[in-house]
Amino acid sequence: LMHRVLELDPTDADYHWLSAAIQAALNRSEAAVEAARLGLQHDPQHVNCRNLIARERIKTGQVAEAGSLIRSSLEIDPTNAETLTLLGDLQLREGDVTAARQSYDQALMVAPGNSEAQSGLSEARRAGNAVYRRLLPLLLVGEKATQDEPIGTRVVLLALIVVLWGGAAKLPVWQTP
């Protein structure tokens, strides 16, 4: 189906962006980047193509290229909610929690229902909590307890986090088999 759409107008950057989005959804990062780059050949100012490449580069840890694309996208459209969200994602990945929160807040001012920005802001708030940052490695689901880190320690630490975050009302109920 996608090849048919591209046959309609292979010089339209939107069609290449759509192809790139499909590739990204299928976890084909390099194919997604290649398709988005084709779109940029036809329209170098195409913010959606730039953002898609930036998102894929953040996923693969290529933050320098992602940062460059995000900055140039913001020069083209400084109020693009997706670009502001990507900036927050990049800043959070680089450990700049304060800047990430500001970027997510800006994205939410432009697009209040943006679920990616809301999720990013929640993650930035958690990452800003020093207790959360220190305890997160101990609380990863599926990790096996070692002799140095018995499972009882995790339960006590989880209870501490629940108390710090406002009580047991937010605590999920787990059932043991």
pLDDT tens track for 107-155? 999 999 999 999 999 988 888 776 666 655 554 443 444 444 454 555 5
pLDDT category of residue 26 using cuts at 50, 70 and 90: very high
The more confidently predicted of residues 177 and 35 is 35
Residue 62 has a pLDDT of: 93
Contacts of 118 (CB under 8 A, 6+ apart): 104, 108
Lowest mean pLDDT among 7-21, 26-40, 64-78, 151-165: 151-165
- The gap between the terminal CA atoms of the chain, to the nearest Å, is 46
Round the average pLDDT of the chain to a whole number and report it. 80
Please answer whether residues 6 and 15 qualify as being in contact, where contact means their C-beta atoms are separated by less than 8 angstroms. Answer: yes
**Distances, alpha carbon 167 to alpha carbons 6, 153, 160, in Å:** 54, 19, 9
Provide mean pLDDT across the span 6-35: 87
Q: What are phi and psi of 43, to 5 degrees?
A: -150, 90
